[in-house]
Structure 1
Amino acid sequence: MTRVLLEMSLLEAAHLSDLVTQFGELIGETVDDVALDDPAIVRLVPDAYRDDPAAADEFRRLTQADLLDRRRDDAAVVLSTLQRDGRTLRPEEVAPEDATAPVVVELHDASVAAWLRTLTALRLVMAARLGVTDDEQGESDDPRFGIYNWLGFRLEGLLQALED
Structure 2
Amino acid sequence: MSLSITLTINGVQRTVELEDPRVTLLDLLRERLDLTGTKKGCDRGQCGACTVLLDGRRVNACLALAASQDGGEVLTIEGLAQGDTCHPVQTAFIAHDAFQCGFCTPGQIMSAVGLIREGQAGDDPERIREGMSGNLCRCGAYRGITEAVLEAQRSLSQAGQQEAA
Q: TM-score higher than 0.5 here?
A: no
Q: Which has the higher contact order (CA 8 A, sep 6+)?
A: 1
- Indicate the TM-score class for this superposition, using the shorter chain for normalisation: 0.3 to 0.5
Task: Report which of the two structures shows the higher radius of gyration computed on alpha carbons.
Answer: 1
Q: TM-score, normalised by structure 2?
A: 0.32
Q: Which has the higher strand share?
A: 2
